[in-house]
Amino acid sequence: MRNFGTPYDDVTPLLVFLAGEQSGYINGQAIAADGGISLFA
pLDDT tens over the chain, length 41 residues: 566 677 787 788 889 999 999 999 888 888 887 777 777 76
Distance CA 33, CA 41 (A): 14
Question: What does the DSSP 8-state code read for residue 14?
Answer: H
The Cα-based distances of 33 to 5, 10 in angstroms read: 9, 6
The confidence score (pLDDT) of residue 1 equals 55
Distance CA 33, CA 15 (A): 10
The confidence score (pLDDT) of residue 21 equals 94
Please state the domain extents for the chain: 1-20+27-41
The confidence score (pLDDT) of residue 2 equals 66
